[in-house]
Amino acid sequence: MFRLWGKIWKDNHLVRDTVICDSRDDTRTHKIFRALDEICLQFDLGKPIWLDANVRDFQRHSRTRFSQDNFIEQIDFDRLEIQVIEED
């Protein structure tokens, strides 16, 4: 089972979160992108742009943060954070 935790933070307070589970037999990268798409759908957000810093953070720590710099449209929160909490 693969699980990705998505959290929206504003003023250092957790505003909203969700956990996406994926038990399909697929690559880790595909599971991450599908889970991020589902998180954005649930939170009614546009998809964030992965910058080099996000890729490095995710490769090292299995978590990253997306701020206003990662979104084309204006967001009303400080950051979207994603974190892998379980991998098969």
> Is 45 within 8 Å of 19 (Cβ atoms)?
no
The reported pLDDT for the residue numbered 88 is 79
Q: At 60, which amino acid appears?
A: R
Name the DSSP class of 50.
-
User: Domains of the chain: which residue ranges?
Assistant: 2-86
Residue 85 predicted with pLDDT over 90 = yes
The pTM score is: 0.92
Distances (CA, A) of 57 to 32, 63, 82: 14, 6, 11
Residue that is written with structure tokens 């979207």 in the block: 80
Going by C-beta distance under 8 Å and a sequence separation of 6 or more, which residues neighbour residue 10? Answer: 76, 77, 78
> Residues 10-65: pLDDT tens digits?
999 999 999 999 999 999 999 999 999 999 999 999 999 999 999 999 999 999 99
